[in-house]
Structure 1
């Protein structure tokens, strides 16, 4: 069998889930010598599983054709090549492939399409009254004392002072909470921009003082773009509290992820921040491209370089997985699609790489994972992995 036909044959067996361990090794040995980059897929539509399979095979052929253009030096891989092969479909899907006709899952028990999350949140005012923000029309004014709260033309929440606002030194707070399957963006009273991911909440004053600005990320994940403010020629500090961690903002853009119990990941995109704890006066300074990881179990704070694009992809409407396990991916799906995850068997140790648009219906995203051999079924809003 000719070389190209042989690897197409192995690719086909991989897609069908019938490849043997020995064949995996042979395919992995070839794949490890191919330039590691996304495979271009022309903008087209895959109407069914067979067409998706054909497009994948076509892209395997493209990699075979590119083999002759490789340089001898190869960069080291941090994971096994086979896990990259198992995840290649995610990369292919991320380029421009859209599946319009969903294949049925496992036992053909699909009842309805589970749509992705959307902008929605609950705003709790200082008197504890609550407003469902997705039910408020653009331009409608809500008052909390002399503070005006309303949506702008983009649907983002904004704060401003009413024309009759008086100096008020009493600090009162609002809390914004996104449900599972929701996200929201708001502009704080000082002009700072905050985007909340699904299942997140933040508490903040509706009026900042002239000497300090402080907010508390109660749970979940948020991306911050802090507006620089000065008073009497001095910078007004901005602090973000998350559990026992505190971030002192020295410059603009950063992400805080506090989904995991006992772990807080703070990633700096632009500017400077100091990260510390309430129980320790020492702080660590972060520079762009670095992430601080706080472990509450031992009160330990460490800093390491990070791929920023992966961390903040959610705010730009993408899932971005890099050597991610299946439980990691499904945990994100669970929050975004508001579904329950149940495992009926031990999870195979895949590590996935690639991107999927967050506006993708759940069934389409699962079709991509199914191509690697993972099996699911859906019962109401429960996803069962077996």
Structure 2
């Protein structure tokens, strides 16, 4: 393809008249080359890398059995598989992002990102023991951290906190509780005393007993978002239900995998079931619902509702991804702000901007904002620890 033909595509991009196929081609090229080279979206940069790009695409696509050719003005149905394949093999940051904007009158604007480097979050958390002492888990050395009520608390080298019964005889019942809390820009995994595994998202707090010995239930309290893999446990031949209490609701399980999103600044509390069976109970407006795998409950001020969802999206944060399905820009930026620990300021109305796709959480925020700005038809500017969004 000549520079002239590419220039025509870019002119169509500026006018907002690109087809889906043409847009996919330019987005894929931009993600691979313009973002990596920190260049602006200028036709002068396109031609010098075009052949390199298509050579790489053809080599990869050939391995997947697709036939490739230079981009030509062909029918939409025949062009799309090739463009989709091309985009899939050159994507960066975990996956290619794709975006939608319901306001078709706006034209793309230039990216305006300051040079401030805002790095992604990581394994950061604080553990508060029953005696009130507080341990910074990102500063603490690996190995045994404490021993209380016959329970040994150990930090592993890969950023996990493990509770194990060191001495059955000294494992004392009682109302001793620990609390683990992740800050903005933090996440952590913990293995509870019963063997259940919990992954905590950013800005999350989990309160739990030091031991579940001689208890009829395993009850923990959650604020924020966490993914649970609950261990099956019996005491004296009786199953011990596992209960997650959050604002306005309780989730009761016997052994299952599920996600609870219960941030104070979210309107709804969402529970997503991946495996097993759970009962969700609304406390303020009493109503129970049994969730099956693939279902999500939403507890709002008006009641409790159920729907089928993509569970992969619900737990994408645990797997190191941002994943959105036509989500409002404001919701997307809420998740970005928690993970990168930034403040977001809006200058304008963005209620009509929705975003879909996925991107790795473990990349510099500039790369995420570059892609958002490219196809979201918006501008981003970082000032210190603030991200300013403008038309």
Same fold (TM over 0.5): yes
RMSD: 3.7
1:132 aligns with 2:136: yes
- Give the 3-state SS of the residue equivalent to 1:347 in structure 2: coil
Distance 2:220 2:136 in 1: 21
Per mean C-alpha deviation after superposition, the further-off stretch among 249-258 and 136-145 is 136-145
- Give the 3-state SS of the residue equivalent to 2:252 in structure 1: strand
1:327 aligns with 2:330: yes
1:19 aligns with 2:15: yes
Change (3 A) 1:130 1:160: same
Distance 1:158 1:243 in 2: 26
Write the deviation string for residues 232-271 of structure 1: whole angstroms up to 9, x where unpaired: 3221111110112011113310000112444100000011
- Counterpart of 2:107 in structure 1 is none
Distance 1:178 1:40 in 2: 37
Structure-1-length-normalised TM-score = 0.78
- Give the 3-state SS of the residue equivalent to 1:46 in structure 2: coil
Per mean C-alpha deviation after superposition, the further-off stretch among 153-162 and 321-330 is 153-162
1:283 aligns with 2:288: yes
Change (3 A) 1:368 1:209: same
Structure-2-length-normalised TM-score = 0.77
Deviation of the 1:113 alpha carbon? 1.3
Distance 1:350 1:64 in 2: 30
Candidates 342, 352, 366, aligned match of 2:345: 342
8 Å Cα contact 1:13-1:19 kept in structure 2: yes
1:265 aligns with 2:270: yes
Per mean C-alpha deviation after superposition, the further-off stretch among 185-194 and 249-258 is 249-258
Structure 2 unaligned blocks of 5 or more: 58-69, 98-109
Distance 1:302 1:311 in 2: 16
Candidates 156, 162, 165, aligned match of 1:152: 156
8 Å Cα contact 1:158-1:188 kept in structure 2: yes
Write the deviation string for residues 334-383 of structure 1: whole angstroms up to 9, x where unpaired: 00000000012222623222111010110111111121231111111011
- Counterpart of 2:65 in structure 1 is none
Matches within 5 A, 1:361-372: 361-372=364-375
8 Å Cα contact 1:271-1:287 kept in structure 2: yes
Candidates 314, 318, 323, aligned match of 2:321: 318
Structure 1 unaligned blocks of 5 or more: 72-84, 99-103
Distance 2:73 2:218 in 1: 53
8 Å Cα contact 1:325-1:349 kept in structure 2: yes
Matches within 5 A, 1:1-386: 11-13=9-11, 15=13, 18-20=14-16, 23=17, 27=19, 46-49=36-39, 61=71, 67-68=77-78, 92-94=91-93, 106=112, 109-110=114-115, 112-163=116-167, 165-210=169-214, 211-217=216-222, 219-259=223-263, 260-279=265-284, 282-295=287-300, 297-298=301-302, 300-347=303-350, 349-372=352-375, 373-386=377-390
Distance 1:275 1:151 in 2: 32
8 Å Cα contact 1:94-1:354 kept in structure 2: no
Change (3 A) 1:249 1:374: same
